[in-house]
């Protein structure tokens, strides 16, 4: 009899499974040992990694960066970069740039306590823009650009908007529940379904009730757009509450992963993730490793991982920006939400979570998992901005899943997934489109030019 979840693996896939198991458990053991070590040993380890990187990994491009003349402006930029990198919360990042950011707590209908952030508008009754992050991320990702007005929330606030920034259940800002604890398996029993059924509509209901307004503009990045597509497809009221939906690097039905073996494995057995990582959170020690690894080496690891998995070359994000942003790249989520994505990739359907597959992992099933009815039920104007070389965006397939009444898709040439929030040229290639969608007058944008000169 075939072993559940593993019975369909071939001989070429078994070594990868074994290596994945070893990696996960060795990483767990090492992290426990390291947490028990005194700080002096940790610092010694970090210094050794520093030396190792300098002598063995430093590339010609890195050497060119190190050879840049250390002018006062450059030194100030490095200081700001390191300040952003070391910030523990989005409130601290806002303070660096002179913005006061407030916390708001939303209780979802199933008991999770989500933390929203708000930058108070200059005037009462200002139009609302709500921003939502992607997979394995949190609200921080919107504010880690070194140049002030490359941070979309700050730009929108200065243009007169009431800016709210959301967080999913389970990430670093939303680890509370009225009954469950984060060490309970049930706490992590959620997927994109719960983001769509509870997190997005409950957050937006809170915002509109708090501000006494009827509607807002939604801007989602990556999974933040998929969650909104899913939520709009099953919630008629939400279609009245969102007046415009702007999706950056939108994800609905990714083609798969770039690495052929990994791609074949997750398409064959999406639930292999449960066997490797359990049923709670994915990579719980990732933040710990980021804190002790020499930052340039950490950047190399992230770049290499992105290239292996997604074929992203990361050429449009400069080195110093990576130092600043990659330190805020990871935030916890459930293993189940990753499994959900792998089911979507496997079936090439923007579908709800397949509970039956999680138990039997068989092809002969007693029922069909329903797709999110995005094409028929979404009534909101949609604007899509995507990178033309982003391996996670299949724009032609996406357009087939969305309504045709009021939709516009704009491709940013030679750009990848993360480039649309952290790229060097987002002010020239991405933000003008967003401001046009929001119907911002050009003269208002021009008023900000003097501030941009002194944004370091």
Tokens of 253: 């039905």
> Is the distance from CB of 455 to CB of 261 less than 8 angstroms?
no
- CA-CA distance, 208 to 215, in Å (whole number)? 7
The owner of tokens 């064959």 is 268
Angstrom CA distances, 298 to 282, 303, 333, 386, stand at 19, 9, 21, 26
Q: Out of 390, 391, 394, 419, which one is annotated catalytic?
A: 390
Q: 55-89: string of b/e by CB count within 10 Å (b at 16+)?
A: eeebeeebeeeeeeeeeeeeeebeebbeebbebeb
Tokens of 275: 């066997």
Tokens of 116: 């929203």
222 is catalytic: yes
439 is catalytic: no
**H or E element in which residue 31 lies:** helix 14-35
Give the Cα-Cα-Cα angle 38, 42, 47 (nearest 5 degrees).
145
> Is the distance from CB of 251 to CB of 420 less than 8 angstroms?
no
Provide, for the chain, the percentages of residues in helix, strand and coil under a 3-state DSSP scheme, each rounded to the nearest 5: 50, 10, 40
- CA-CA distance, 236 to 405, in Å (whole number)? 17
Q: Out of 132, 191, 417, 419, which one is annotated catalytic?
A: 417
405 is catalytic: no
Q: Out of 222, 269, 324, 327, which one is annotated catalytic?
A: 222
Q: Phi/psi at 114 (nearest 5 deg)?
A: -95, 140
Angstrom CA distances, 61 to 57, 68, 137, 314, stand at 11, 11, 28, 13
So which residues are the catalytic ones?
A: 222, 390, 417
């Amino acid at each position: 009899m075939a072993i559940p979840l593993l019975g369909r693996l071939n001989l070429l896939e078994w070594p990868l499974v074994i290596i994945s198991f070893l990696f996960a458990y060795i990483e767990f053991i090492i992290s426990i040992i390291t947490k028990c070590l005194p700080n002096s040993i940790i610092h010694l380890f970090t210094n050794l990694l520093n030396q190792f990187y300098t002598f063995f990994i430093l590339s010609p491009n890195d050497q060119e960066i190190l050879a840049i003349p250390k002018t006062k402006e450059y030194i100030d930029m490095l200081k700001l970069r390191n300040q952003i990198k070391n910030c523990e919360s989005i409130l601290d990042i806002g303070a660096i740039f002179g913005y006061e950011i407030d916390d708001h707590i939303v209780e979802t209908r199933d008991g999770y306590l989500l933390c929203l952030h708000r930058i108070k508008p200059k005037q009462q009754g200002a139009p609302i823009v709500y921003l939502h992050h992607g997979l394995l991320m949190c609200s921080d990702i919107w504010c880690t650009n070194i140049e002030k007005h490359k941070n979309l929330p700050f730009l929108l606030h200065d243009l007169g908007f009431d800016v709210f920034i959301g967080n999913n259940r389970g990430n670093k800002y939303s680890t509370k529940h009225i009954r469950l604890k984060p060490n309970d398996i049930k706490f992590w029993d959620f997927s994109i379904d719960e983001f769509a059924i509870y997190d997005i509509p409950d957050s937006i209901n809170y915002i509109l009730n708090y501000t006494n307004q009827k509607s807002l503009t939604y801007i989602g990045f990556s999974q933040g757009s998929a969650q909104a597509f899913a939520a709009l497809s099953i919630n008629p009221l939400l279609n009245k509450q969102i007046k415009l939906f702007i999706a950056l690097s939108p994800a609905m039905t990714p083609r798969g992963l770039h690495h052929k073996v990994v791609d074949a494995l997750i398409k064959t057995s999406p639930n292999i993730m449960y066997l490797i990582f359990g049923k709670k959170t994915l990579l719980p020690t990732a933040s710990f490793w980021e804190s002790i690894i020499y930052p340039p080496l950490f950047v190399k690891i992230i770049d290499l991982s992105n290239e292996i998995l997604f074929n992203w070359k990361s050429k449009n994000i400069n080195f110093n920006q990576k130092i600043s942003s990659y330190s805020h790249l990871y935030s916890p989520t459930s293993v189940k939400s990753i499994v959900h994505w792998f089911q979507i990739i496997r079936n090439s359907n923007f579908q709800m979570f397949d509970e039956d597959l999680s138990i039997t992992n068989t092809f002969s099933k007693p029922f069909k998992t329903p797709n999110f009815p995005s094409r028929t039920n979404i009534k909101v104007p949609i604007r899509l901005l995507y990178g033309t070389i982003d391996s996670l965006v299949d724009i032609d397939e996406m357009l087939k899943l969305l309504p045709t009444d009021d939709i516009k898709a704009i491709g940013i040439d030679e750009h990848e997934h993360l480039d649309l929030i952290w790229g060097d040229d987002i002010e020239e290639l991405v933000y003008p489109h967003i401001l046009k969608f929001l119907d911002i007058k050009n003269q208002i944008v021009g008023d900000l030019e003097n501030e941009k000169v002194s944004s370091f």
